[in-house]
Amino acid sequence: MFVNHTITALTSMIAHLVVPIPLLATLDPENSPIVLSGVLLSLVVIYLASKLGAEAARNFNFPPVLGELVAGVIVGVSALHLIVFPEGGLSASDSGIMSVLQSINHLSPVALTSIFESQSEVISVLAELGVIILLFEIGLESDIRQLKEVGVQAVVVACVGVAVPFAAGTAGLMMLFHTPAIPAIFAGAALTATSIGITSKVLSELGQLKSKEGQIIVGAAVIDDVLGIIVLAVVASLAKTGEIDVVNAIYLIVSATAFLLGSILLGGIFNKTFSAVVDTLKTRGNIVIPAFIFAFFMAFLGNAIHLEAILGAFAAGLVLDESDARNELDELVKPIADIIVPIFFVTVGARADLGVLNPAVPDNRAGLLIAAFLIVVAIIGKLVTGWVVFGQPGINRLAIGVGMIPRGEVGLVFAGIGSASGVLDKPLEVSIIIMVIITTFLAPPFLRIAFGDSVEPPATEESSKVI
Amino acid sequence: MFVNHTITALTSMIAHLVVPIPLLATLDPENSPIVLSGVLLSLVVIYLASKLGAEAARNFNFPPVLGELVAGVIVGVSALHLIVFPEGGLSASDSGIMSVLQSINHLSPVALTSIFESQSEVISVLAELGVIILLFEIGLESDIRQLKEVGVQAVVVACVGVAVPFAAGTAGLMMLFHTPAIPAIFAGAALTATSIGITSKVLSELGQLKSKEGQIIVGAAVIDDVLGIIVLAVVASLAKTGEIDVVNAIYLIVSATAFLLGSILLGGIFNKTFSAVVDTLKTRGNIVIPAFIFAFFMAFLGNAIHLEAILGAFAAGLVLDESDARNELDELVKPIADIIVPIFFVTVGARADLGVLNPAVPDNRAGLLIAAFLIVVAIIGKLVTGWVVFGQPGINRLAIGVGMIPRGEVGLVFAGIGSASGVLDKPLEVSIIIMVIITTFLAPPFLRIAFGDSVEPPATEESSKVI
């Protein structure tokens, strides 16, 4: 009996263990056309959403990217459930696209899970390649000379824009909401980093990327991103060990500075090499392939030294902007950006769970109060940065402050890590997510208003069109 | 003792079973930047290989795509092991790129496996999107009126090119090598389908895509692909149940015909809608996004009705070739194709394991003999198709026959399914793989020679360049 029991118990354990194994079915060649089907259908939905959203936003005189974000929310986890990701407890049965595949192919639940995960992984990486190519394009559109000119301003804006929301957020949470120190520091840190992707896309759409204000915002957003990563590393180690990892913080500061300055300095030499290489190549893709080799390699480097891939891509764009092939390259990168960048914005919207705004859920109610406080700090803390700019008479200070407002994906990374490490309780996590959603969605229309007088709508429309 | 033994055995089984489970680590957010790093580094290697290969091939007066295939072999499983896939028993430790990531990030073996699989999945899907976009571009470059003109010729070429190698291959294997009937039929079937991707790319590079020969080859290759899928479905059911699934075969024939003819007929209506939609859109990507929505949706449909995604993309290209926005679309699709199509060709090369050519391995020795026979049948069986073309005086019959030679990925699918279902023994599987490799690599230079007199090298070079 005992033997039988043991064997039965073990067999049932095995059966239990066996269930997740067919995840190896990822490799099952029979499933690979279905993964492809899922990716194709997801891309069709993403493209449809992005175009409908962008056109609708434009008709209401909002920046198109806001429409893409909102369209993403509609097709995403908050509404239609077409584009969802296996996070926050969602499974294949929550995905509209998976239901379609299921009804066509009659898949087992296990195969469906495996296909859902593979497809989500592919769409996630495509979205990341999208923001990498966006930042590469922004780098190409930026003017390195003008960036150098406003460099000091950008550094000041970035530092104030990190210090003020961090200090005000942490202190406010501790005093007003009696949050313990470490969670308060973590939430304060989540208020620091500007979303360079959203801000720069809106600037580009408004035709303001090359303006003095635009270049200060982009420069400050880049520095902000670096500062945000350093702050994250510091508070994460503080949360994990209770101590600040000074060595790692110094490593990040040094490597980020060396990476950005080094790539710009070396760029002066490299863009000559690039032009020479392009001239010797005779087969198709002679300009665009070397450019992408450089951009992706720099993005890899940025990732490898624990900075961000988008910083590498931005630096690559800045460098190639100096090369002779610049104008041709601009034209070639546009259609590539047009088909891959929307994947990023739509999935940002699709991942934003507006369910956290529902006051019927108790955790949300506590979160909504804290969120209201964080949003005020997030907006005012960045708005003030416009007024620390000096020596630039007649500059649009409001526009600079507004440009720094959107927190986007960086804030979500904070919330995710804070929640995974147990530092943030549910209400605080929810409030950070709400803060990110609100600042992200408010910034594009605000930026449009802040630039109001100086923007010529018809010219903008034309210049932002491909043709 | 018995109990202990049983438990030990079961525990070891569990331990064995447990190992793959942390594949769920795919979802670990900490790993996602490393997956991105892996994808970026893979793309850098793929682009470098494709450009070096294409330029070297061009210098030796070969079609650039041959260079991309060979470069793929060099970076792939046969040589440098930089781009490898988790198939044929390969694991993360066999991948050069994984070793780089490992040395940077100090990953656990389990995390490494999970990252390797995610990265391979992403690169595989990118390669599939590459061939989808290639066929979309080929569809755009093809002339539907000329295709209709040579339609009958293409059907005849395709049918002869399927029947002759199939009959000769099956009969030869049974008579010369005493292979049993079912494996012989399977191997014969693997000789049928032409690789439309490789052939059409070479034609495009030679500037021969719009020639009468080029259009016959492309038309025949498309029909061939459909016939190949039907043959595969029939022999696969024969292998599995010993009977021919007539209903499924009829379903495939009807759905394939309906799909291709239907999309072309409806296309006449749709391309008006497309032009109207493009005209009303005002935001970036106004041409390219609707075009890709249509192409990816058609590719999805092709996949969903168990045909192939590339057939849908080709049909989409044919339809949009009739629209007013055609010329602009051609220009916009080029750079997109330039960065994604090479991923397909380099990975085709990278997956080709030239180790099967090593005569030191006993299985290979038996395979090499059969392979030699299959290669002869594969080449002659397609060469004869040029001479069945009627009513086209002065046509280059050799070029048509040569254009049908490459088997590419379709043959590998046969080998894979045959081997997985146990129908093919090792020597026969190896011989099919060798046949596919040799026909794929021979076709581009042969096609160059076959078109020899009518090709003007300098003009070709210029016309095949983007700028």
The answer to whether the beta carbons of residues B315 and B36 sit under 8 Å apart is no
Q: pLDDT averaged over chain B?
A: 82
Cα B50 from Cα A171, distance rounded (Å): 55
Residue B107 has pLDDT above 90, yes or no: no
Tell me, what's the pLDDT at A19? 33
Number of A:B CB contacts under 8 A? 239
Which candidate in B40, B140, B287 is best for mutational testing of the A interface (most A CBs within 10 A)?
B40
CA distance A387 to chain B (A): 33
Torsion of CA A22, A25, A31, A36, to 10 degrees: 120
Sequence letter at residue A372: A
Neighbour-count burial for A422-454, b at 16+ CB within 10 Å, e otherwise = ebbbebbbbbbbbbbbbbbbbbbbbbbebbeee
**Percent of chain B surpassing pLDDT 90:** 31
What end-to-end distance do the CA atoms of chain B give, in Å? 78
Q: Which of A242, A252, A209, A224 is nearest to A460 (CA)?
A: A209
The answer to whether the beta carbons of residues A209 and A177 sit under 8 Å apart is no
Tell me, what's the pLDDT at B98? 93
Which of B2, B10, B132 faces A10 most closely, judged by CB atoms? B10
- Is A339 within 8 Å of B467 when comparing Cβ atoms? no
Using a 10 angstrom Cβ sphere, with 0-12 exposed, 13-18 middle and 19 or more buried, the burial of residue B309 is buried
Output the CA–CA distances (angstroms, integers) from residue A149 to A143, A145, B267, in the order listed. Answer: 10, 6, 54
Tell me, what's the pLDDT at A116? 94
Structure tokens at B454: 């009518």
What average pLDDT score do residues B201-222 get?
Answer: 88
> What domains sit in chain A, N to C, each tagged with a CATH number?
29-125 (no CATH), 126-451 (1.20.1530.20)
The answer to whether the beta carbons of residues A323 and A275 sit under 8 Å apart is yes
Most confidently modeled range among A300-314, A371-385, A423-437, B20-34: A371-385
Cα B281 from Cα A70, distance rounded (Å): 18
DSSP assignment of A195-255 equals: -HHHHHHHHHHTT-TTSHHHHHHHHHHHHHHHHHHHHHHHHHHHHHHSS--HHHHHHHHHH
The answer to whether the beta carbons of residues B348 and A346 sit under 8 Å apart is no
Residue A90 has pLDDT above 70, yes or no: yes
> Between these two residues, A408 and B260, which has the higher pLDDT value?
B260
What end-to-end distance do the CA atoms of chain A give, in Å? 79
Neighbour-count burial for A360-383, b at 16+ CB within 10 Å, e otherwise = eeeebebbbebbebbbebbbebbb
Which of B44, B51, B289 faces A338 most closely, judged by CB atoms? B289
Tell me, what's the pLDDT at B18? 34
Residues 100-139 of A with CB under 8 A from B: 104, 117-118, 121-122, 124-125, 128-129, 132
DSSP letter (8 states) at residue B387: G
Contacts of A467 (CB under 8 A, 6+ apart): B286, B287, B328
Position B119 confidence tier, pLDDT thresholds 50, 70, 90: very high
Residue A321 has pLDDT above 90, yes or no: no
Structure tokens at A122: 């592919």
> Between these two residues, A283 and A464, which has the higher pLDDT value?
A283
Structure tokens at B87: 């198939």
Q: pLDDT averaged over chain A?
A: 83
Most confidently modeled range among A17-26, A455-464, B148-157, B159-168: B159-168
Which of B14, B58, B342 faces A14 most closely, judged by CB atoms? B14
What average pLDDT score do residues B214-235 get?
Answer: 83
Cα A101 from Cα A114, distance rounded (Å): 13
B42 vs A contacts (CB less than 8 Å): none
Cα A332 from Cα A284, distance rounded (Å): 12
**Percent of chain A surpassing pLDDT 90:** 31
Judged by a CB distance cut-off of 8 A, whether residue A360 touches chain B is: no
- Is B303 within 8 Å of A36 when comparing Cβ atoms? yes
> Between these two residues, B457 and B61, which has the higher pLDDT value?
B61
The answer to whether the beta carbons of residues B405 and B378 sit under 8 Å apart is yes
Cα B379 from Cα B165, distance rounded (Å): 9
Residues 229-288 of A with CB under 8 A from B: 281-288
Cα A409 from Cα A431, distance rounded (Å): 15
Position B29 confidence tier, pLDDT thresholds 50, 70, 90: low
Tell me, what's the pLDDT at A358? 83
Cα A47 from Cα B284, distance rounded (Å): 12
Tell me, what's the pLDDT at B54? 94
Per-residue pLDDT tens for B133-153?
A: 988 998 888 777 777 788 888
CB atoms near residue B385 (< 10 Å): 31
Judged by a CB distance cut-off of 8 A, whether residue B1 touches chain A is: no
- Is A465 within 8 Å of B104 when comparing Cβ atoms? no
Tell me, what's the pLDDT at B30? 66
Q: Which of B35, B441, B137, B55 is nearest to A289 (CA)?
A: B55
What average pLDDT score do residues A181-189 get?
Answer: 89
DSSP letter (8 states) at residue A407: -
Per-residue pLDDT tens for B411-435?
A: 777 777 777 777 888 788 878 888 8
Judged by a CB distance cut-off of 8 A, whether residue B420 touches chain A is: yes
Per-residue pLDDT tens for B227-262?
A: 887 787 777 777 777 777 778 778 878 888 888 888
Cα A368 from Cα A431, distance rounded (Å): 6
Most confidently modeled range among A73-82, A320-329, A427-436, B259-268: A73-82
Which candidate in A125, A205, A277 is best for mutational testing of the B interface (most B CBs within 10 A)?
A125
Contacts of A441 (CB under 8 A, 6+ apart): A66, A69, A70
The answer to whether the beta carbons of residues B355 and B118 sit under 8 Å apart is no
- Evaluated on CA atoms B159, B161, B166, B172, the torsion sign reads positive
Residue B130 has pLDDT above 70, yes or no: yes
Position A29 confidence tier, pLDDT thresholds 50, 70, 90: low
